[in-house]
Structure 1
Amino acid sequence: MLLEQVDKPFSDGRYVFEPKIDGHRLILSRRNGETRLYTRHNNDVTAKYPELITNGPDIILDGELVVMDPDTGIPDFELTMQRFQSKRSRLPISYVVFDILHFDGADLRGLTLMERKAVLDQAISEYSNDEQNCVH
């Protein structure tokens, strides 16, 4: 879903409000051990962000890639675009995930957003625990 500007703030239980990250929208798709990254225009940008290629279950995530300003710790759109457009830049990135569309063989698109967010929370918790177990 793309941003939509409104005249004034509102509150409505039918909506989920999330902070605007001001990053670069990316779909992360991992299938059969191969990770691919796509822009919202379906351009493959996997080679630009090798640090996002990790092991784990089959998954499709929707999120935003950001570069944080080293002085403020706040997402910086100019630095994010600098990283995206440069072939040599290795500015550190963060991938902020806000939705999960597929997980471990299950298509989740038929679930409500809140149900998908619960699966996302579970998937991240399980993956984090697996990563910690690998470190020990």
Structure 2
Amino acid sequence: MSRFLFREVKPMLASVADEPFDDEDFLFEPKWDGARMFIHKQGERLEAFTRSGRRVTDKFPELKEAVSAIRAKEAVLDCEGICLNDGRAAFDDIAYRLRLGDPRRIAAAVRSHPAAWIAFDVLETTEEHLREPLLVRKDILRESILSSERLAACAFMPGLGTALYAWTKERRMEGIVAKRRQSVYRPDVVSADWIKVKHPIEIDVIILGYQTVPVFALVIGLHFRTVRFKPVGLVESGLGEEQREAFLDIARSLLTNKEGPTQWLRPELCCRIEYRDRSDRHELGRTTFIGFLPDKRADECAWTY
């Protein structure tokens, strides 16, 4: 009896590195900016689940086209659901698709924000494959899928992580994932055998406030379509002592209320940062300060869709 078919699966997760590398013991894949999903198939039945176990099949009528692309009678595939925008995966578009519930809006979104799936691993066919090496699972995956407009096996490059990292940067992709050739699939584990290396992204943000404990940090925000001055994270690294002192001197005239560790300011100052992580709620992580923007207006600091 299958352990995973049409059941919740906890994905294997990658650890993090800042710089790409070359290593013949690893395969390197492009990192797609989408939503992690599992596609389950048995006969003509096909279901899709998010990484949290939520069934989302009805949100994606396109999945009906993916059934014929899976040659295996039974399969559980680890995939990235994506929506392409100007030739590259756009996270906000797949997130929009996942929010929809009304059948009429879903039908319209199939035309305006069509979805596809990139499969990068296989957990089961008619037998379980978790304990088999990654290279073996890649062969099984390739044999199990007939690539189509809706579903395709993820391409990979043996050994050459730096070249693939440069290639993905040119195409404004999210980064790369390095995977040890002999790695087994370990559900619900952050593994050193899988390593994601993301491209840093620069963005101009509003300084909403600051904290001094446990360390000094800027509280940053952005404007979105439905909300203004939304806090999106903290910036702790990259700010030198002289810059910090100059900022605090200017901030004295902008103080408003204080809540817990955060001293809020009138939102009049802007700065440029880079980030490497972004949550589903647009919370920015692994941030680094680049510089203050004295000529930038807060109204100009908005999330780009």
1:14 deviation in Å? 2.6
- The question of whether the paired residues in 2 share the 8 Å contact of 1:33 and 1:58 is answered with no
- Greater helix fraction, Structure 1 or Structure 2: 1
Are 1:83 and 2:68 matched, yes or no? no
Identity of aligned residues (%): 31
Q: Give the TM-score normalised by the residue count of structure 2.
A: 0.38
- Greater strand fraction, Structure 1 or Structure 2: 2
Q: 1:44 and 1:81 mapped to 2: Cα distance?
A: 15
1:32 deviation in Å? 4.4
Query: What is aligned with 2:119?
Result: 97
Structure 1 unaligned residues grouped into runs of 5+: 129-136
Bigger radius of gyration among the two = 2
SS of residue in 2 equivalent to 1:37: strand
1:77-129 CA distance string (max 9 Å, x none): 111111111231322111111111112x121122111101011111224x87x
Note the aligned Cα RMSD (angstroms): 1.9
Q: Which amino acid aligns with 2:128?
A: D
Q: 1:77 and 1:18 mapped to 2: Cα distance?
A: 18
Query: What is aligned with 1:22?
Result: 33
SS of residue in 1 equivalent to 2:18: coil
Are 1:108 and 2:129 matched, yes or no? yes
Query: What is aligned with 2:63?
Result: 52
Are 1:121 and 2:142 matched, yes or no? yes
Query: What is aligned with 2:294?
Result: none
- The question of whether the paired residues in 2 share the 8 Å contact of 1:59 and 1:100 is answered with yes
Which stretch has the larger CA shift, 37-46 or 24-33? 24-33
Number of residue-to-residue matches in the alignment: 124
Q: Which amino acid aligns with 1:47?
A: D
Runs of 4+ displaced beyond 4 Å: none
Structure 2 unaligned residues grouped into runs of 5+: 1-11, 149-305
Q: Give the TM-score normalised by the residue count of structure 1.
A: 0.80
